[in-house]
Structure 1
């Protein structure tokens, strides 16, 4: 994930991970991220003027840090692998530093409906405003922004769709949810095209994870044993995620010949996350379908009325090897494994490592 920069070898070892990454970049990598709570590093907190309650952030940050996790997210680990600082939320108004890009992801975001804060389309509109304003302000002497030429070499990461599917299952049948998927994919297509037309050429697209393995969904919908697979996950929700991912992959393949001189990497996060859940003991994890922070105890420790951080919640011991943090989001330990798998390139199409972007220079 080293964008197009000339060569200087930086040995980047991702903390907690066994996969070393060699980055060959002469200047700070620039990343623009779009998505939901899976990659929100504080945009929701900045936008609403509040922060998530403890014990969120207890690991690494040792306090709430605008992330729905006990610690770092995948995007944090990926930035560390590039030897660059965490992405600053676009909505951060208190001394922001956008010299290495910006994070437009907001918890709760989806592709649809359009024009509703903070849908994917709104995030892209925010980026286009940033794209126009940043070089203009730099020409007037402002610091900690992105210069005009750096937007073309930047990496654009997209991780969205989970909320579209999850929200649809609240009021639609499986068949109706699947029928809506093309409309979600169309919004992602528009986003990529709009960024490309503004000069972006390097895209890193994550598919959506196994929705049917989330403790929240299992606690709310998992009473029918016939709908559970051999690992205890819900077939219908996971099948819908697979249908979404198949169409997202097809979109990436469709766009590659259309976006001249662009690179679009599709990353199979579904397989990465499902593998960890299905083989949790092999990775040193326990209770793969149970939330660390929640209420209700086994098997899922999820109560919609007593979420993590609310009065009455319980939380596992710090350092416990849980995969799910709060029933919807993942622990830092799980995010570290996900990042390592991404960096291995085994789940990327085309199968490229992050040096690929450097070597294109």
Structure 2
């Protein structure tokens, strides 16, 4: 898997204005490339073009130009953490990878590492704030850790990396419980540090991604009407069912927490199965990779393919327009359990099932 640069989830830019019910003073995010705001670029060098060209107008690892996005924890230059921090990096998984970044393309910053980074950030930020001056302006107040929003969007790389290492469907399914045990450990660690409001995304339909369709075997009869590989999507759905059960169990263990489970899979599959007219016939048809590694659609380099009218721009990641559409669908609560809008996710505790 090639690593791609920062791909921002739109919620990182919109949760901070005053909300009707919840006024989150900070956002702390854990995840992979779906919500990386420059972490991997800070650690291993700027992501190559065309990453960020249509969204930022420049390299994705550049300073955020004053936009209210959450800075990457690993980005030490020009960052403002007063509204939280982003621990996500492209290629991250819940479980540690048995390979290096340069061999497999998967990040060494697994969820347990991101959890450790958060723990350090909380402790060191408060020590630094005691020095006053600029530190008080650039670091969150202590109360932000108990009233902030904690978002998780991670897990798909655990599934795809297993398939890319030649595991069978049965083997991948057998590994899901351990993966989710590690996920639960990370959530409980954040809770132990005062976190109370959790917004947890499930895994998307990775059987609809061109890079999966190109790398993994798919029989013609396994392709669904949307052009997606049904067996791989079935694994994502199995993961999601167990993730939801994990969230239910966490509600019992963490009675003071408000945990919202968000069915991003349903929102994304709805978009893919009912695509805009100009987005192509199927995931495989819309985007193919040539031998040189560049992604092309209908013979044109992906950057020239009117990304505002596309769903996925590189065979892996959703365009800015698609991310915004998905966010608009999930932020109202229609895809959430309990069915609360994002802005009300802190107002009541979900019922313990």
Does the pair score TM above 0.5? yes
Aligned-residue offset at 1:232: 1.3
Q: Is the 8 A contact 2:206 2:232 kept in 1?
A: yes
Separation in 1, partners of 2:46, 2:110: 20
- Of structures 1 and 2, the one with the larger relative CO (CA 8 A, separation 6+) is 1
Q: Who is 1:56 aligned against? A: 51
Instruction: State the SS of the aligned residue for 1:106.
Output: coil
Whether 1:151 and 2:138 are equivalent positions in the alignment is: no
Report the equivalent of 1:90.
73
Q: Residue 27 of structure 1: CA displacement?
A: 6.4
Aligned partner of 2:199 among 180, 204, 212: 204
- Distance in 2 between the 1:275 and 1:205 partners? 19
* TM-fit CA distance, 1:320: 5.0
Find out whether 1:109 has 2:92 as its counterpart: yes
Report deviation, 1:288. 6.0
Question: Does the residue aligned with 1:32 lie in a helix, a strand or coil?
Answer: strand
Match of 1:24 among 20, 23, 44: 20
Tell me which protein shows more helix as a share of its residues: 2
| 2:41 alignment partner in structure 1 | 45
Q: Deviations over 1:167-200 (max 9, x none)?
A: 1111101111100111111111000000001111
Check whether the contact 1:135–1:148 (CA below 8 A) recurs between aligned residues.
Answer: yes
Give 4+ residue runs of structure 1 displaced > 6 Å after superposition. 25-28
* CA distance in 2: counterparts of 1:175 and 1:110, whole angstroms: 20
Asked if structure 2 preserves the Cα contact closer than 8 Å seen for 1:44 and 1:106, the reply is yes
- Find the counterpart in structure 1 of residue 116 from structure 2: 125
SS in structure 2 at match of 1:23 = coil
TM-score normalised over the length of structure 2: 0.83
Which whole-Å CA distance do the structure 1 matches of 2:218 and 2:334 have between them? 35
Q: Deviation of residue 114 (structure 1)?
A: 7.1
Which residue of 1 is the match for residue 102 of structure 2?
none
Structure 2 match to 1:161: 155
Q: How many equivalent residue pairs?
A: 319
Look up the match of 1:323: 311
Q: 1:332 aligns with which of 305, 309, 320?
A: 320
Cα distance in 2 between the residues matched to 1:131 and 1:22: 24
CA pair 164-85 structure 1, distance change in 2 beyond 3 A = same
Whole-Å separation in 2 of the counterparts to 1:300 and 1:28: 39
SS of the residue aligned with 1:102? Answer: strand
Query: What's the counterpart of residue 330 of structure 2?
Result: 342
CA distance, structure 1, for counterparts of residue 249 and residue 24 of structure 2:
31
User: Paired residue for 1:256, among 251, 257, 265?
Assistant: 251
Matched, 1:266 2:261: yes
- How far 1:25 sits from its partner (Å)? 6.9
Aligned-pair CA distance for 1:268: 0.3
Alpha-carbon distance, 1:47 to partner: 0.8
Check the 8 A contact 2:287/2:314 in 1, yes or no.
no
- Distance in 2, Cα, partners of 1:285 & 1:274: 17
Deviation, 1:287, is 1.4
